[in-house]
A and B are shown apart, each in its own frame.
Chain A
Amino acid sequence: MKIIGVYSIKGGVGKTSTTVNLAYLAAAAGQRTLVWDLDPQGAASYYFRIKPKVKGGGRGLLRGKRSPDDAIKGTDFELLDLLPADFSYRNMDILLEGAKKRPTGQLKRLLKPLLKEYDLVLFDCPPSISLMSENIFRAADALLVPLIPSTLSARTLAQLLDFLETEDGFGALRVLPFFSMVDAGRALHTETMERLSAEHPQILSARIPLAPEVERMGLHRMPLPAYAPSNVASGAYRALWDEVAAAL
Chain B
Amino acid sequence: MNPMAMDYLLPAADAAEQDMEAAITAIRAHVRCEPEPAVRLRRRFFDSFEWGLYRANAALEELVTDQQRELLWQDLAADGAVAARQAITAEPGLIGDLPPGPLRERMAPVLGVRRLLPMVALTGTRRTLRVLNDDDKTVARIRLEQMRVEAAGGRPAVTLPPRLQLTAVRGYGHETETTAHRLKTVLALEPAPAPLVLEALAAAGRRPGSYSSKLDYRLDPTQPAAAATRTILLGLLDTLEANIDGTRQNLDPEFLHDLRVATRRTRSALGQIKGVLPQAIVDDFKARFAWLQQVTGPVRDLDVYLLDFPRLKTDLPPGLRDDLDPLRDWLAAHYDTEQQRLAGTLASERFVTLLREWRAFLEAPARNGAKDAKTPIAAVADKRIRRMFKRVREEGRAITDASPPEDLHELRKSCKKLRYLMEFFQSLYPAEDIKGLIKQTKVLLDNLGGFQDLAVQAEHLRETAAAMQREDAAPLPTLLAMGALISRMLEGQQRARQEFARIFAGFDSAQNAAVFERLFADKQPAAAAEAGA
Task: List the interface of chain A (C-beta within 8 A of B).
Answer: 29-32, 48-51, 71-76, 79, 81, 117-119, 221
Residues from chain B with Cβ under 8 Å of A118 in the complex: 1
Residues from chain A with Cβ under 8 Å of B103 in the complex: 30
Residues from chain B with Cβ under 8 Å of A32 in the complex: 1, 84, 102
Pairwise interchain contact B130-A76, C-beta atoms closer than 8 A: yes
Residues from chain A with Cβ under 8 Å of B138 in the complex: 76
Q: Is B110 an interface residue (CB 8 A)?
A: no
From B3, B87, B136, B170, give the contact of A49 (CB < 8 A): B136
Pairwise interchain contact A119-B102, C-beta atoms closer than 8 A: yes
Residues from chain A with Cβ under 8 Å of B130 in the complex: 76
Residues from chain B with Cβ under 8 Å of A75 in the complex: 169
Pairwise interchain contact B86-A30, C-beta atoms closer than 8 A: yes
Bitwise interface map of B from 182 to 209 toward A, beta carbon under 8 Å scored 1, else 0? 0000000000000000000000000000
Q: Is B462 an interface residue (CB 8 A)?
A: no
Kindly state the separation between the CA atoms of A221 and B132 in the bound complex, as whole angstroms.
Answer: 14
Residues from chain A with Cβ under 8 Å of B171 in the complex: 71-74, 81
B218 to chain A, nearest CB (A): 40
Pairwise interchain contact B137-A50, C-beta atoms closer than 8 A: yes
Q: Is B70 an interface residue (CB 8 A)?
A: yes
Q: A30-B87, A76-B130 are in contact. Are A81 and B1 (CB under 8 A)?
A: yes
Residues from chain A with Cβ under 8 Å of B137 in the complex: 48-50, 76
Pairwise interchain contact A72-B170, C-beta atoms closer than 8 A: yes
Q: From B102, B103, B136, B137, name the one whose CB has the most chain A CB atoms within 10 angstroms.
A: B137
A85 to chain B, nearest CB (A): 14
Q: Is B85 an interface residue (CB 8 A)?
A: yes
Q: Is B112 an interface residue (CB 8 A)?
A: no
Q: A76-B138, A79-B1 are in contact. Are A30 and B172 (CB under 8 A)?
A: no
Pairwise interchain contact B85-A73, C-beta atoms closer than 8 A: no
Q: A30-B103, A31-B102, A49-B137 are in contact. Are A73 and B1 (CB under 8 A)?
A: no
Q: Is B471 an interface residue (CB 8 A)?
A: no
Q: Is B101 an interface residue (CB 8 A)?
A: yes
Task: Name B70's closest neighbour in chain A (CB-CB).
Answer: A30
Kindly state the separation between the CA atoms of A29 and B86 in the bound complex, as whole angstroms.
Answer: 7
Kindly state the separation between the CA atoms of A73 and B3 in the bound complex, as whole angstroms.
Answer: 10
Bitwise interface map of B from 479 to 510 toward A, beta carbon under 8 Å scored 1, else 0? 00000000000000000000000000000000
Pairwise interchain contact B85-A29, C-beta atoms closer than 8 A: no
Kindly state the separation between the CA atoms of A155 and B169 in the bound complex, as whole angstroms.
Answer: 43
Residues from chain B with Cβ under 8 Å of A74 in the complex: 3, 168-172
Pairwise interchain contact B85-A30, C-beta atoms closer than 8 A: yes
Q: Is B135 an interface residue (CB 8 A)?
A: yes
Residues from chain B with Cβ under 8 Å of A51 in the complex: 135
Kindly state the separation between the CA atoms of A174 and B172 in the bound complex, as whole angstroms.
Answer: 36
What are the 4 tightest A-B residue pairs by CB atom distance, in nearest-first order?
A: A73-B171, A74-B170, A74-B169, A49-B137
Residues from chain A with Cβ under 8 Å of B102 in the complex: 30-32, 119
Kindly state the separation between the CA atoms of A72 and B130 in the bound complex, as whole angstroms.
Answer: 20
Residues from chain A with Cβ under 8 Å of B168 in the complex: 74
A246 to chain B, nearest CB (A): 12
A60 to chain B, nearest CB (A): 16
Bitwise interface map of B from 1 to 18 toward A, beta carbon under 8 Å scored 1, else 0? 101000000000000000
Task: Name B130's closest neighbour in chain A (CB-CB).
Answer: A76
Pairwise interchain contact B101-A30, C-beta atoms closer than 8 A: yes
List, sorted by A's number, 6 A–B pairs whose CB atoms are closer than 8 Å.
A49-B135, A49-B137, A74-B3, A76-B138, A76-B169, A221-B136
Kindly state the separation between the CA atoms of A66 and B188 in the bound complex, as whole angstroms.
Answer: 39
A27 to chain B, nearest CB (A): 10
Bitwise interface map of B from 117 to 144 toward A, beta carbon under 8 Å scored 1, else 0? 0000000000000100001111000000
Q: From B103, B135, B136, B171, name the one whose CB has the most chain A CB atoms within 10 angstroms.
A: B171
Residues from chain B with Cβ under 8 Å of A48 in the complex: 137
Kindly state the separation between the CA atoms of A189 and B169 in the bound complex, as whole angstroms.
Answer: 43
Kindly state the separation between the CA atoms of A67 and B436 in the bound complex, as whole angstroms.
Answer: 49
B88 to chain A, nearest CB (A): 9
From B70, B85, B86, B170, give the contact of A81 (CB < 8 A): B170
Task: Name B139's closest neighbour in chain A (CB-CB).
Answer: A74
From A31, A73, A117, A221, give the contact of B172 (CB < 8 A): A73
Kindly state the separation between the CA atoms of A50 and B137 in the bound complex, as whole angstroms.
Answer: 7
Residues from chain B with Cβ under 8 Å of A50 in the complex: 137
Task: Name A76's closest neighbour in chain B (CB-CB).
Answer: B138
Q: From A50, A74, A75, A81, name the one whose CB has the most chain B CB atoms within 10 angstroms.
A: A74
Kindly state the separation between the CA atoms of A29 and B84 in the bound complex, as whole angstroms.
Answer: 12
B507 to chain A, nearest CB (A): 45
Kindly state the separation between the CA atoms of A51 and B171 in the bound complex, as whole angstroms.
Answer: 11
B108 to chain A, nearest CB (A): 16
Task: Name A81's closest neighbour in chain B (CB-CB).
Answer: B170
A84 to chain B, nearest CB (A): 9
Kindly state the separation between the CA atoms of A118 and B85 in the bound complex, as whole angstroms.
Answer: 12
Kindly state the separation between the CA atoms of A49 and B130 in the bound complex, as whole angstroms.
Answer: 14
Kindly state the separation between the CA atoms of A119 and B83 in the bound complex, as whole angstroms.
Answer: 12
Kindly state the separation between the CA atoms of A76 and B139 in the bound complex, as whole angstroms.
Answer: 8
Pairwise interchain contact B170-A73, C-beta atoms closer than 8 A: yes
From B1, B70, B85, give the contact of A117 (CB < 8 A): B1
Pairwise interchain contact A73-B101, C-beta atoms closer than 8 A: no
Task: Name B133's closest neighbour in chain A (CB-CB).
Answer: A49
Q: A31-B101, A119-B102 are in contact. Are A79 and B169 (CB under 8 A)?
A: no
Pairwise interchain contact A79-B172, C-beta atoms closer than 8 A: no
